[in-house]
Every structure is written in structure tokens, then in C-alpha cells.
């Protein structure tokens, strides 16, 4: 990953007063490093650049972000060793969400082991096509029940068409904390599909990351068309169940870390100041409380 530019640092310095008064926690980033000690999964399509925790910490400091939740990147698939090493190196700064193989009957036990190592949740990524139908399979309920027993959240990266499958699991485990990533990437030109995500509002422990405005938008910053999705989710879930996120470094393909923050903090004019405080910090801490 390229070094932080002087421009980014200068932009971030303007956020210092905000950070002093309102804690900001980023609940969704990734890290990786080209290092033979931590090999990537076979066939992984890994960018040539690194996304190191040191670069991330620099961006956090420049933008007034105090803590971050790191999501296990797909490049390592179900080998969480690199992320475990980062969590050990920077205790108190990061929490980690692991991946386990959803087709492995031993996945619940693997999750238990990873939780003992300090991971605070698991991420599943069922695709829209038939290869993701395992989310309807016989192994899922055991894994979701183990999340409940371990008191860690289930994080779901899935297209909007998979939200009814998530709902079927929630019918059996309505009290489980579930986080839906990136507004389920509901396409801008199919706004009616967002109803599939809004239908999960009836489960009190479902939370939604309003990240990926930059990804689904067909417009320039501040991505006003994608903000319409956020507005509907805000009306349905309320700010105490919504959270921002950068999805760094993926966002750098389209925009910047600082704009992922500023679009929520400064550009969503339908949000109150209290809403923003919840979505930048308090909601995140409901799901991922950091040690004092």
C-alpha cells in the first residue's frame, strides 16, 4: 500500500477537534502483507501493494479515528494467522473478525478456538449464485448457534437477494447479533430490492453498515443517489442500529479513507448530530465494545 500522502495528512488534521470531542471507530477494514510467513490462499487474486496495519494507523490518526475492527480478508481465506499476529501486535487498537469454512462441519469448533485467541466475531460471504446456497444448508444453524453461545456477532457479506435466507436463520435465532455489511450492496437502480434488507428490521439485534455508498453510486462524491438507500435504512432501523465504515483499502479503488468518513459526518444532511455520533461510534461499540 502506498505511503500516506502529505495531502491526506493535511486533510485529516482538520478533523482533530472532532476527534477530541467525539470518538470515531471504524468497524470495517482489511489488512494484508506479502510475506512468506503468512502465505495467501491458493488462487487468491492479491493486489501487488500491501495494506499494512502501520499504513492504517497513519490514516486513522490523520482522520481522528481511534479504534478499528479488522475483517479477515479473503486473500487468506480461512487462515486467520496474519490477522491474529496483527491483533497481538496492536492490542487495544484493533478488534478482529475471523473467517471459518462454512462447508466444514468443524467450523463451530474452529470459531470457538479463534474466539479464545481474541477474535470477536465471524464473517460469512454467500454468493448470489448456487455456489452460495450453503447458507440454506444443514451446517448453518450449528454455526449460528455457536455464535450465540460465544456471544460474538455474525457478520454477513451477501448480495441483497440473500437477505431472505438471512431472515430464515434469524427466525430460529432472533436474539443473535447479526451485522449486514455494505447495505447488502443493493443496486441503486433496483431500490425496491432494499425492502429485503429492511424486512430484517423486526429482529432487534440486526445492525447494518451503511458503507459502500461510493461503490454502488453512479454519481460523484457525495454519492447522493446512494444516500437515498441510507435515508431509507435510517428511517427503518434508526441510528442506533446503523454504522459507518471505510472498507479500507478497497475504497481506494474509487475514493479515499477521508471521504468515507466525511460523507457520513458532513454530507448526509438528513442526519442529526446525535445520529452521526451513534453511527460513527456508539452503534459500533454496541456490537464491538473495545476494552477501556
Complete DSSP assignment for 184-237? GG--TT-GGGGHHHHGGGGSTTEEEE---HHHH-SSSTT-HHHHHHHHHHHHHH
- Is 98 strand, coil or helix? strand
> Please, which residues have CB within 8 angstroms of residue 224's CB and are 6 or more apart in sequence?
217
What pLDDT was estimated at residue 190? 97
What stretch of H or E contains 122? strand 122-124
Which residues share a beta bridge with 179?
A: 155, 207
**What count of residues does the chain have?**
292
38: buried, middle or exposed (CB in 10 Å: 19+, 13-18, 0-12)? middle
What pLDDT was estimated at residue 265? 98
What pLDDT was estimated at residue 19? 37
Name the nearest CA neighbour of 4 among 74, 59, 68: 59
Q: Give CA–CA dist 204/269, Å, rounded.
A: 26
What pLDDT was estimated at residue 20? 37
What pLDDT was estimated at residue 291? 83
What stretch of H or E contains 274? helix 273-277
What pLDDT was estimated at residue 164? 98
What pLDDT was estimated at residue 15? 39
The dihedral sign for the CA sequence 229, 251, 274, 94 = positive
Name the nearest CA neighbour of 230 among 270, 203, 192: 270
- Arch. (CATH architecture) of 6-286: Alpha-Beta Barrel (3.20)
- Is 140 strand, coil or helix? helix
Q: Give CA–CA dist 148/248, Å, rounded.
A: 28
Residues 231/42, Cβ–Cβ less than 8 Å: no
What pLDDT was estimated at residue 22? 76
Q: Give CA–CA dist 223/60, Å, rounded.
A: 23
| pTM of this structure | 0.92
Residue 251, all three cell numbers: 475504497
Strand pairing report for 242-243 and 122-124: unpaired
**Low-confidence stretches of the chain (pLDDT beneath 50):** 1-21
> Please, which residues have CB within 8 angstroms of residue 121's CB and are 6 or more apart in sequence?
97, 98, 147, 152, 153, 154, 155, 179, 288
Amino acid at each position: 500500500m502506498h505511503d500516506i500522502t502529505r495531502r491526506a495528512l493535511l486533510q485529516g488534521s482538520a478533523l482533530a477537534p472532532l476527534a477530541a470531542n467525539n470518538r470515531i471507530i471504524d468497524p470495517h477494514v482489511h489488512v494484508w502483507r506479502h510475506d512468506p510467513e503468512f502465505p495467501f490462499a491458493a488462487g487468491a487474486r492479491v493486489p501487488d501493494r500491501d495494506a499494512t496495519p502501520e499504513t492504517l494507523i497513519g490514516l486513522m490518526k490523520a482522520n481522528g479515528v481511534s479504534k478499528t475492527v479488522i475483517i479477515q480478508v479473503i486473500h487468506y481465506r480461512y487462515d486467520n494467522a496474519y490477522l491474529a499476529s496483527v491483533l497481538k501486535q496492536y492490542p487495544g487498537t484493533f478488534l478482529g473478525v475471523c473467517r471459518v469454512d462454512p462447508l466444514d462441519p468443524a467450523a463451530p469448533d474452529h470459531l470457538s478456538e479463534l474466539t479464545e485467541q481474541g477474535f470477536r466475531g465471524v464473517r460469512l460471504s454467500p454468493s448470489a449464485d448456487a455456489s452460495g446456497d450453503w447458507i440454506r444448508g444443514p451446517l448453518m444453524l450449528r454455526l449460528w448457534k455457536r455464535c450465540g453461545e460465544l456471544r460474538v456477532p455474525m457478520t454477513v457479506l451477501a448480495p441483497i437477494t440473500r437477505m431472505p435466507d438471512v431472515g430464515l436463520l434469524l427466525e430460529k435465532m432472533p436474539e443473535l447479533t447479526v451485522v449486514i455489511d455494505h447495505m447488502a450492496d443493493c443496486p441503486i437502480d433496483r431500490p425496491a430490492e432494499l425492502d429485503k434488507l429492511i424486512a430484517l428490521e423486526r429482529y432487534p439485534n440486526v445492525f447494518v453498515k451503511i458503507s459502500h455508498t461510493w461503490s454502488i453510486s453512479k454519481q460523484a462524491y457525495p454519492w447522493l443517489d446512494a444516500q437515498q438507500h441510507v435515508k431509507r435504512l435510517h428511517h427503518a432501523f434508526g441510528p442506533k442500529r446503523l454504522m459507518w465504515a471505510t472498507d479500507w483499502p478497497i475504497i481506494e479503488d474509487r475514493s479515499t479513507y477521508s471521504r468515507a468518513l466525511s460523507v457520513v459526518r458532513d454530507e448526509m444532511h438528513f442526519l442529526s448530530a446525535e445520529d452521526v455520533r451513534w453511527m460513527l461510534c456508539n452503534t459500533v461499540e454496541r456490537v464491538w465494545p473495545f476494552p477501556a
